[in-house]
Amino acid sequence: MLRHRLASLLAATLLVAGCQSVPTITTVDYVDIERYMGDWYVIANIPTFLERDAYNAVESYSLNPDGTIDTVFTFRKGGFDGEERRFNPRGFIRSENNAEWGMRFVWPFKAEFLVVWLDEDYTQTVIGRSKRDYVWIMAREPTMPEEDYQRILEFLAAEGYDIDSIQKVPQSWPERT
C-alpha cells in the first residue's frame, strides 16, 4: 500500500513538473542580420536587475568578422543626468534564421535572446525569452507611436507575457536637425 502511494505521489509530481515546463516562444521567420545591426532605443521592458531605474537606454549591435555580435548597452542610472552605465555582452547566433541568439555577459553563460517581433522596415523589434521573465521593446527612434506600442503589448499578452510587468523606459534626447 505504501509503495503504491509513493509511486502515485512520484507520478503526480512528475506530471505537475511536466505541466510547468515553459512553452517555447515563437521567433520571427528571418532576420537580415546586417540590416538588424545598429542602434535600438529601449522603449519598454521587463527590466533585469541591471536595468532598473534606467533612462535613455540604447542597445547597439555590430557584426564581427567571426559572425558574433558586438553589443554595447548604455543607459543613465536614476535620471537623464544620472551616471552612464555601459555593458558589452557578446551575441552568438544560434539559428539559421538569425532570430535565436545567446547573449554572453559572463563567460561561459549565454542568456537566451529571441527576436520575437520585427517590423518590415526594421524600425521596431521585440526581444523575448521562453521563460517570459524579461522582454525588450525597441525602436530605431527614441519614441514609438502609441498604437504600435499597444499592438506589441497585445502580441506579448497573446504570447503569455504579463504585460502589467512591462515598464516604459524614459527617453529624452536633443532634437536632431
Q: How far apart are CA 44 and CA 57, in angstroms?
A: 9
Q: Tell me whether residue 177 is in a domain.
A: no
Q: Using an 8 Å Cβ cutoff, are 156 and 163 in contact?
A: yes
Amino acid 175: pLDDT: 72
Classified as helix, coil or strand, 7 is helix
Q: Which domain holds residue 91?
A: 33-168
Structural domain tally of the chain? 1
pLDDT digits (tens, 9 = 90+) for 103-126: 887 666 678 899 999 999 999 999
Which among 140, 177, 170, 135 has a CA at the least distance from the CA of 153? 135
Cβ neighbors of 128 (< 8 A, separation 6 or more) are 25, 114, 116, 117, 134, 135, 136, 156, 159, 161
Amino acid 10: pLDDT: 31
Amino acid 70: pLDDT: 96
Q: Which CATH number belongs to the domain containing residue 139 in this structure? A: 2.40.128.20
Q: Tell me whether residue 119 is in a domain.
A: yes
Least confident of 11-20, 46-55, 159-168: 11-20
Q: Tell me whether residue 27 is in a domain.
A: no
Amino acid 174: pLDDT: 82
Please report, for residues 39, 93, 102, 111, the alpha-carbon distance to residue 107 in angstroms, rounded to integers and kept in the order given: 24, 16, 12, 11
Q: Tell me whether residue 76 is in a domain.
A: yes
- pTM, entire model: 0.84
Averaged pLDDT, 85-110: 87
Amino acid 85: pLDDT: 96
Q: Tell me whether residue 173 is in a domain.
A: no
